């Protein structure tokens, strides 16, 4: 995060704008709208500045930039057409520990002004850190079209109810449940938009009277193989509504950054040969949190129903009549193969796919004869430690030694690395990657050089 997003109150606070032209006008309008005590310094001023000064809305400082102009300032904006002057203003502000915005020079600025969607008191700001201002403007235009004008009225009305909600609902879950119903009420929003405040009060009283205890529930959410862009929309909605997030080590930091900030996070990571929290304790944790009325999300890498033991967790919840839901995710086989340029099926290479757990000793005997058959793709999950045994069994049961294989490390993430070779080399190749890694065996791997894009 190059810039920390911050909304600050400028009402009645002295701010300095250096520049008197068209660009400075745009900055002045924003500062005046925020109620700043605005001083503007320049050699020449546009008619707009002269009008504002005559109306007593700002103070003009006529002349070359003078460092004394910064006295008692909270914010400085340099918006002249002379880069040297702008830099002088920025250096002076930096020395006095005052935030400074530089027009057209974000790399030297200590503060930037984002594109704004104003639904006061609701404000949405979009910034590219100065790297792509046109992109920020295009996003702002899209958001302007999406966000109804009455959102400001709804937010203002909600602000008047906060103290009452805090008094009537003692737990955070109850309050959140009420507010979700409040903001999702189409009748309330439309009534406020029409200016019918008595009717809005009636609807609000109905919401207060009908607000039940926040029910405990568990959502089993597949986080996908790593890339946050592969998280489903429904999965995103669930993790942003959760009171408690229970997650494993295959959930990427990019995904966790999307979790609501005040949600409790519980790490129950697992890796081969080591369980931070045993599975029965995870089951009990989900049950206990839900019984406390919490909205719990069990966040799993990949898809929770493919070697994720999600079924076991839901069985415990079902026995205790805890409401639950499942949000599937893109499984590691699909995501890692796609990001590696390896189609799992292909008319000329494979007519089926087999997803196989690599925990060979714990999961019992596998049908190696069928796994070694031609015209299929094998994907081994958690198989890195057993790679040599996988190689031996497949060769013993008739798979050809030159069958292409790929090992995908940290699949779909920015750290993804793919090592390819043949089945005869699998044990050796497994020493070149680290966990988490996926093993793909099949002639489809030979298409990687043609189809790879990552």
Question: Active-site residue among 37, 104, 254, 270?
Answer: 270
User: Does the annotation count 402 as an active-site position?
Assistant: no
Task: Find the catalytic residue in 248, 294, 300, 303.
Answer: 248
pTM of the predicted protein model: 0.64
pLDDT of residue 440: 97
Domains belonging to the chain, first-starting first, are: 14-113 (3.40.50.720), 151-210 (1.10.8.210), 217-330 (3.40.1010.10), 333-451 (3.30.950.10)
300 belongs to the catalytic site: no
User: What digits encode the pLDDT tens for the residues 101-112?
Assistant: 998 776 678 998
% of the chain residues with pLDDT over 70: 95
Residue with tokens 């979790």: 259
Per-residue pLDDT tens digits of the chain, which is 454 residues long: 788 888 999 999 999 999 999 999 999 999 999 999 999 999 999 999 999 999 999 999 999 999 999 999 999 999 999 999 999 999 999 999 999 999 877 667 899 888 888 888 888 999 888 788 889 889 988 888 888 888 888 999 999 999 999 998 887 777 888 888 888 777 888 888 888 888 999 999 988 887 566 568 999 999 999 999 999 999 998 998 898 999 998 899 999 999 988 899 999 986 555 557 888 999 999 999 999 888 899 999 999 999 888 999 999 999 999 999 999 999 999 999 999 999 999 999 999 999 998 776 554 578 899 999 989 999 999 899 999 999 999 999 999 999 999 999 999 998 999 999 999 999 999 999 999 999 999 999 999 988 876 4
Q: What is the chain's mean pLDDT, rounded?
A: 90
């Amino acid at each position: 995060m190059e810039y920390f997003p911050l909304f600050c109150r400028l009402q009645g606070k002295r701010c300095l704008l250096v520049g008197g032209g068209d660009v400075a006008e745009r900055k002045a309008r924003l500062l005046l709208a925020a109620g700043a005590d605005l001083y503007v310094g320049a050699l020449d001023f546009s008619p707009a500045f002269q009008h504002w000064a005559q109306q007593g809305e700002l103070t003009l400082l006529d002349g070359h930039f003078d460092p004394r102009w910064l006295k008692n300032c909270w914010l400085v904006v340099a918006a002249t057409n002379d880069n040297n002057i702008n830099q002088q203003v920025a250096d002076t502000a930096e020395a006095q520990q005052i935030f400074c915005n530089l027009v057209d020079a974000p790399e030297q600025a200590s503060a930037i002004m984002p594109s704004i969607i104003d639904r006061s008191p609701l404000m949405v700001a979009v910034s590219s850190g100065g790297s792509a201002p046109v992109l920020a403007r295009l996003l702002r235009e899209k958001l302007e079209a999406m966000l109804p004008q009455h959102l400001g009225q709804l937010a203002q009305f909600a602000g008047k109810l906060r103290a009452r909600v805090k008094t009537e609902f003692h737990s955070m879950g109850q309050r959140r449940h009420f507010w979700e119903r409040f903001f999702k009420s189409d009748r309330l929003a439309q009534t406020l938009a029409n200016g019918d405040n008595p009717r809005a009060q009636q609807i609000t009283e109905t919401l207060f009277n009908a607000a039940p205890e926040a029910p405990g529930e568990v959502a089993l959410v597949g986080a996908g193989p790593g890339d946050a862009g592969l998280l489903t929309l429904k999965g995103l909605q669930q993790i942003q509504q959760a009171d408690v997030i229970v997650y494993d080590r295959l959930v990427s930091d990019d995904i966790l950054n999307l979790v609501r900030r005040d949600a409790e996070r519980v790490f129950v990571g697992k890796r081969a040969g080591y369980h931070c929290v045993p599975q029965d304790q995870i089951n009990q944790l989900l049950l206990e949190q839900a019984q406390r009325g919490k909205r719990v999300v069990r966040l799993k890498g990949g898809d929770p129903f493919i070697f994720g033991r999600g079924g076991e967790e839901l069985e415990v919840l079902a026995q205790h009549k805890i409401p639950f839901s499942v949000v599937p995710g893109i499984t590691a086989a699909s995501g890692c193969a796609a990001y590696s340029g390896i189609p799992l099926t292909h008319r000329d290479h494979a007519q089926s796919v087999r997803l196989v757990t690599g925990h060979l000793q714990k999961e019992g005997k596998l049908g190696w004869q069928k796994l070694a058959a031609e015209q299929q793709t094998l994907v081994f999950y958690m198989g890195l430690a057993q790679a040599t045994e996988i190689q031996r069994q497949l060769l013993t049961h008739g798979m050809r030694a030159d069958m292409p294989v790929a090992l995908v490390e940290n699949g779909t993430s920015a750290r993804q690395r793919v090592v390819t070779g043949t089945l005869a080399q699998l044990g050796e190749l497994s020493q070149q990657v680290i966990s988490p890694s996926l093993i793909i065996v099949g002639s489809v791997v030979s298409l990687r050089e043609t189809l790879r894009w990552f």
